[in-house]
Chain A
Amino acid sequence: MRPVLLSGHERSLNQIKYTPDGDLLFSVAKDKNVCAWFTSNGERLGTYHGHQGAVWTVDVSPNTRLLATGAADNNVKLWNIKTGECVKTWGFPTAVKRVEFSEDGTQLLAVTEKRMGYLGTIVVYDIRYGEDLSDQTDEQSLRIECERSKATVAAWSYLSKYIIAGHEDGTVSQYDAKSGELLLDAEVHDDGYQVNDLQMSQDRTYFITAGKDKQAKLVTCRDLEILKTYKADTPLNTAAITPKKDFVILGGGQAAMDVTTTSARQGKFEARFYHKIFEDEIGRVRGHFGPLNTIAVHPQGTAYASGGEDGYVRMHAFDKPYFDFMYEVEREQARR
């Protein structure tokens, strides 16, 4: 599994996203830049300039016309993917940590940071795809205030029925996506250990969370029931579900400033593969020189990419042994 190294960022990566057809990969980092890459050869298609602070989050609309970004400059920006121009900016009183389009692309959610005098919020905008992409509303269609514990991540469920949010205190909550009403709250991660990532399955009926408590959990959207637990030996920053194969990929690592003894693992920060159903760790992929901050899986399940604290994005195409790997009971089932 020979990786393609994407070097274009000068600081640590925060989030990466594939387009729905997997042709492009978008990356955002602390260096204020948004990069677009061709996944076929790793060449850079372009850079989107405009944010004045670390860019925390990125998402692609399902029709691949718009890119949304959220940053430490307290802005959410919409970009015309084809032309690279910024078509809309929404300002907030605090930084924006997560953005995500709903499954049909008609809505965008944004998670805003908590700060003295401001509660953390989740806001929603309706998105238009007319001839003129800059024709967007200034009105929020929904605003949820997180009073107990701020949201760190959020995502849309199937049918855009729920907004699922992960919080600073380790809980996960389910909101009605129309009314904003809090419907359910679940202690998914250890108390006080932040949820760092939350990624939906392709059909958005369940999701995976990555926690600072060194665990990743597979949870249902409908009732926030914990289906599976994946245990690691390091705080987790990111977790992704692979289509085609029943695996999950986890990424994390102790940040250098948190390591008390000299680390013998330098250059050996790993993406960890677990079997989604059996919860066993089945393999690791080395390469990064710092913790893995973000992992994304190609929508067709043919590749994955990771972004690290080291400023690199590594793209890996899955090879034959990956697809051939099967537990005996899976083989048995496949034969039936």
Chain B
Amino acid sequence: EDRYAVDIANTAIVEERRRLLEEWDAWVRMVKEDVKAEREELGIPDPKEELELQRIRSAASEEEQVVE
């Protein structure tokens, strides 16, 4: 019977964690979409994408120098 009680408790904890995880993912997804829409509306570029672009460009310019 004790074991049964422990199982019930564990199941409850796992259920709760599952709920928390889903709730978090849903919130992150919603905010991400909202910010993306707002960013596009304001015409503000994504700093992460900008950084990536910078990296690609500097890599490309280095390559060009090698060709020369």
Q: Is A131 an interface residue when CB atoms closer than 8 A count as contact? A: no
Q: Which of A49-57, A310-318, A324-332 contacts B (4 or more CB under 8 A)?
A: A324-332
Q: A20-B51, A159-B39, A205-B35 are in contact. Are A333 and B21 (CB under 8 A)?
A: yes
Q: A20-B51, A62-B47, A104-B47 are in contact. Are A330 and B38 (CB under 8 A)?
A: no
Which residues of chain A from 166 to 193 have any CB-CB distance to chain B below 8 Å in the complex?
none
Flag if A327 contacts B17 (CB, 8 Å). yes
Chain B residues with CB below 8 A from A330, complex form: 21
Q: Is A158 an interface residue when CB atoms closer than 8 A count as contact? A: yes
Checking A62, A103, A206, A277 against B20 with a beta-carbon cut-off of 8 angstroms, the contacting residue is A277
Chain A residues with CB below 8 A from B32, complex form: 203, 205
Flag if A158 contacts B35 (CB, 8 Å). yes
Q: Is B5 an interface residue when CB atoms closer than 8 A count as contact? A: no
Complex Cα distance, B48 from A104, in Å, reads 10
Chain A residues with CB below 8 A from B38, complex form: 159
Flag if A159 contacts B44 (CB, 8 Å). yes
Q: Bin chain A's interface residue count.
A: 20 to 34
Flag if A159 contacts B35 (CB, 8 Å). yes
Q: In the complex, what's the smallest C-beta–C-beta distance from A159 to chain B, in angstroms?
A: 6
Q: A62-B51, A104-B47, A159-B44 are in contact. Are A203 and B17 (CB under 8 A)?
A: no
Q: In the complex, what's the smallest C-beta–C-beta distance from B57 to chain A, in angstroms?
A: 13
Q: Supply 24 A–B pairs (Cβ within 8 Å), ascending by A.
A: A62-B47, A63-B54, A104-B47, A104-B50, A158-B35, A159-B35, A159-B38, A202-B48, A203-B31, A203-B32, A205-B31, A205-B32, A205-B35, A206-B31, A220-B31, A222-B31, A227-B27, A277-B21, A277-B24, A328-B14, A329-B14, A329-B17, A330-B21, A332-B18
Contacts A159-B35, A205-B31 known; list 15 others, CB within 8 Å: A62-B47, A63-B54, A103-B47, A104-B47, A159-B39, A205-B32, A205-B35, A220-B31, A246-B24, A277-B20, A277-B24, A327-B17, A328-B17, A329-B18, A333-B21
